[in-house]
A and B are shown apart, each in its own frame.
Chain A
Amino acid sequence: MVKRLPVRFWLTGILLFSFLLKLLYWQLDLTVSRDGCNYILLARIWYDSGNFRGIIDESSSFFSPPLFIYLMKCLMNLGISAETAGVCINLFLGTFTPLIAYGIAYEITQSRKVSVCSAFLTVVNPSMNALSVKVQRDMIYLFLAGVTIWLLLAGIRRMKWGYWLSAGLVCASAVLTRFEAMEFLLIAPIAPLILFIGKYCDWRKSICFAGIFFLSFAGGIFALSTLMHTNDYLFSNYERFFQLKMSRLEKPFSPESEMGPGR
């Protein structure tokens, strides 16, 4: 069946189906999530005050990468509410996650059949749909992290520096959405290392790929944080993030750590 019709036909149909399904799901569950209420409030503060400093003044304990809230604020300039802006961002990006799943699956398996199935299963996955209609950072993170994975896989397969450069830039965006995306800073150099150990490429090329990734990542972080005017906040905040995580790791056997924070 996949061979008879062009893949573009299937993918277009999947994307359309994805969009309609998410739109329908949104109508079935209009309640904003708990975290979403916070993001809406922060976006309003940023929009009303005109700069990020307004958020820090309002809540000195604010502790989150700002890209998602920044995008919400930008959409609010079009006259829509913060809640609608958040949902629109996630709905738009969530519609295209099947395409990312297709891309990743194709890079790995080189099979159109598996790739189209992956895209289809992504559309009908309940978690993907739920995350697409909530005002949360998860869908934008999944989109950006997925694109990072796709570009890294393409870079490994094709051995072209352009993919590594793009992966670094997109990874920077993902890190500015969720801190967990920093795992790619550990994962990305593993690929060139294995390529070198497995003798798929020489050590110069491996170092070049890893170096391009890290440089483009650093450039992306700097460019985006300059665009959002959040330079001072970001660099002090990441330090605070690591200190907090390290302090929790220092108490592995306390009853509180058994329960987990916030429970």
Chain B
Amino acid sequence: MIQYLFVRLPSLFFEPISVGALLGGITASWYYRKNKKRFYWILIVCICLMFFWRLSSYSLMLSTRYASILLYPAIILTAWFCSRSEEILRSGIQCVSRYHNQIMGKICLVLPCFLITGLAVAGLIKILHYDPYGGHTVNLCSTLARETAGKDFMLYAQSEQQRISYYSGIDYQKIMFLNYKTNLPLQEQLKSIITLSKNHFDNIYFVFSLKKGDPEPDAQTLEIGSELGTWECIHREITSRKKKKELILYRFIPAHPNIEIWEKDIPEISPDNHCLNGDFENCLAGKDLEERLNYYRQLGAADFYLAPERRFPLNWWLVVEKERDGLFSKISLTEEHPIAGKYSLEMNSNNGANWGTNCALVPKQDGVFSGFIRAESDASVLIRSCYWDLDKSTIGYITDYAFRLHPGKTYRFSFPVHMADVPEEDRSINFVVQGIGHILLDNFELIQR
């Protein structure tokens, strides 16, 4: 409350006006203390009411602008005090000393004019001062707009999200709070966001302020090696004349060493492939198919999965779950524009609730797991290598790789498989593919070295 009363309100009114209003209020109360006119009590009561309800609820008010209506009484009291200052000074001099000369008389005469002029000059100086750094947000946002044009990105901003959205043209939904509801230091915030977001966006931008002397986050302090991506400063702006604060724009481009865009012909499956039915050319039939269809019937997913044209791959177990819209995710083989051969595995899901997991196989030494994915929409894919516990009740995950895919492009992923990661008693390994969006998969291979 002290700060609100003695710092924020005077700042709103303009400090000389605040002093003038206070002096005017005290003087007017003294002058009119015996006044019986109607206005006296009405004004006292109303101004007090308007002032004190704002003071009592200052913690609810987000801004001192809620007290802006008090500018009128503050200015009028100041004007009244200035106009009566001659009279006040004369009576003050006469009280203090009976010696009253011509010079003092002239001073008293010009005092009101002097006070008004002084207030006006002080006000004009404050109004007309030009801040050369006032356009820092606009300048940074124009760089941001050029940077993000046509790119897949996410933006994290410490503050000023609305202004950044307005001046850069970036949709407000694509701007996240950098430090939303957390007290972590900036470096920790950045590290956490990079870890969580690196597989979801091609570019991640950060806008934050740093005070002079604060450590600036660099690749070393953020522990960003070249294998993780590149971290660089794109733009910096000083925010005030005192040059004590900077507004900085950083960009992080995640590296994806395990995935590449594939524009060449799809190679044939290697004869050394340990991934059973990795090319999805063998379909379920007979008893196996009937068992699978019964599973879908029990699940209640009959509409899609029991259609006569539906095909399912041998050696692959497709876990089907209900999605947010109440419908089931769609996983089956497709003959329409396969990546290679006759069939590709097609997965279509909105919330990643679907799995496609290979059957157990027994490689004897380390290898490389690879495959091809084509995105029919914006998609995210998570590929995990794992093993089942002996009792087949739990899964132990070994590695996982997440990728962000863009529509119309074919990708080849590959990552190493270390059998040392699998418990000795269970030398088999499974691969789980989890996808959000519409994707086609084909030619999965596990090749021993």
Is A31's CB within 8 Å of the partner chain B?
yes
B127:A21 contact, CB within 8 angstroms: yes
B75:A122 contact, CB within 8 angstroms: yes
Interface string of A156-194 (1 = CB under 8 A from B): 110000000000000000000000100100110011001
Nearest Cβ in chain A — how far from B84, in angstroms? Answer: 9
Report the Cα distance A157→B135, complex, angstroms.
49
Residues of B with C-beta under 8 A to A217 = none
Closest A-chain residue to B73, C-beta based?
Answer: A104
Closest A-chain residue to B166, C-beta based?
Answer: A37
Give the residues from 86 to 107 in chain A that come closer than 8 angstroms, CB to CB, to chain B: 100-101, 104-105
Is B104's CB within 8 Å of the partner chain A?
no
Nearest Cβ in chain B — how far from A86, in angstroms? Answer: 12
A129:B120 contact, CB within 8 angstroms: no
A118:B76 contact, CB within 8 angstroms: yes
Residues of B with C-beta under 8 A to A180 = 66, 69
Report the Cα distance A34→B172, complex, angstroms.
13
Give the residues from 59 to 99 in chain B that come closer than 8 angstroms, CB to CB, to chain A: 59-62, 65-66, 68-69, 71-72, 75-76, 78-80, 82-83
Give the residues from 198 to 247 in chain A that come closer than 8 angstroms, CB to CB, to chain B: 198, 200, 245
B82:A117 contact, CB within 8 angstroms: yes
Interface string of A132-146 (1 = CB under 8 A from B): 000010100110011
Is B295's CB within 8 Å of the partner chain A?
no
Nearest Cβ in chain A — how far from B108, in angstroms? Answer: 16
A108:B43 contact, CB within 8 angstroms: yes
Is B100's CB within 8 Å of the partner chain A?
no
A138:B116 contact, CB within 8 angstroms: no
Report the Cα distance A156→B42, complex, angstroms.
9
A125:B134 contact, CB within 8 angstroms: no
A156:B38 contact, CB within 8 angstroms: yes
Residues of B with C-beta under 8 A to A131 = 65, 68
Is A69's CB within 8 Å of the partner chain B?
no
Is A40's CB within 8 Å of the partner chain B?
yes
A124:B124 contact, CB within 8 angstroms: yes
Report the Cα distance A29→B136, complex, angstroms.
11
Residues of A with C-beta under 8 A to B42 = 156, 190-191, 194-195
Is B146's CB within 8 Å of the partner chain A?
no
Is A128's CB within 8 Å of the partner chain B?
yes
Nearest Cβ in chain B — how far from A93, in angstroms? Answer: 13
A28:B128 contact, CB within 8 angstroms: yes
Q: A125-B17, A138-B65, A261-B60 are in contact. Are A40 and B71 (CB under 8 A)?
A: no
Closest B-chain residue to A126, C-beta based?
Answer: B126
Report the Cα distance A248→B61, complex, angstroms.
11
Is B30's CB within 8 Å of the partner chain A?
no
B160:A34 contact, CB within 8 angstroms: yes
Is B41's CB within 8 Å of the partner chain A?
yes
Nearest Cβ in chain A — how far from B19, in angstroms? Answer: 13
B119:A109 contact, CB within 8 angstroms: no
Nearest Cβ in chain B — how far from A105, in angstroms? Answer: 5
Is A49's CB within 8 Å of the partner chain B?
no
Residues of A with C-beta under 8 A to B43 = 108
Report the Cα distance A29→B79, complex, angstroms.
28
B68:A40 contact, CB within 8 angstroms: no
A183:B60 contact, CB within 8 angstroms: no
A190:B38 contact, CB within 8 angstroms: no
Is B49's CB within 8 Å of the partner chain A?
yes
Q: Within the complex, which residue of B14, B83, B124, B135 is in contact with A114, where a contact is CB–CB below 8 Å?
A: B83
Q: Can you give 10 contacting A-B residue pairs, CB < 8 Å?
A: A31-B134, A31-B138, A37-B165, A101-B72, A104-B76, A108-B43, A117-B82, A121-B75, A126-B126, A146-B72
